[in-house]
Chains A and B, each alone.
Chain A
Amino acid sequence: EDKVVQSPLSLVVHEGDTVTLNCSYEVTNFRSLLWYKQEKKAPTFLFMLTSSGIEKKSGRLSSILDKKELFSILNITATQTGDSAVYLCAGSPQGAQKLVFGQGTRLTINP
């Protein structure tokens, strides 16, 4: 059965810190790994990763995929209180439009 595991489940840091969120996956016929940010309701799309070793960046956020070790990390530098959210990681298999989600990491940024 396909599985995605995120760690830590919860993280509290101070504004300005750098955080690294982890995601390991076991997805049959893996195609891509996606990261989402969920604040109140709808998860908002952050990154989609399909190739190993190629970092994707968007402002203070970056992510990379390791297809050999079956994991991905999401980095957030110079954190702000607005980064407080649940960060979700999801794996997607080939030939199927479905996402297998991890439990999420609840990130809290204290001022």
Chain B
Amino acid sequence: RKEVEQDPGPFNVPEGATVAFNCTYSNSASQSFFWYRQDCRKEPKLLMSVYSSGNEDGRFTAQLNRASQYISLLIRDSKLSDSATYLCVVNKLNTGTASKLTFGTGTRLQVTL
């Protein structure tokens, strides 16, 4: 089983729609959680961190359920510019000086007119 699992999509939605992505992680020792965005043939960029209480950044809302080991991302009022691949990322703190990120394979979103 992969450490971080995502539905690869693609999710095809019309402009203005609300869309939600889910992600599950297998390691209960995971400490912190993030959503990154990756445009086609570009580098990943941090979209937002995910906090236990849930958090919002404009049209984007992230939720974490530690008991179910489940993370979600909700995008409201989708824009054409939201078309990208969304990567679920989990950070497991190791003993020692460094921690390592584990990336999901991503969920592709295509927003259409």
- Determine if chain A interacts with chain B: no
Question: A residues touching B (Cβ–Cβ < 8 Å)?
Answer: none
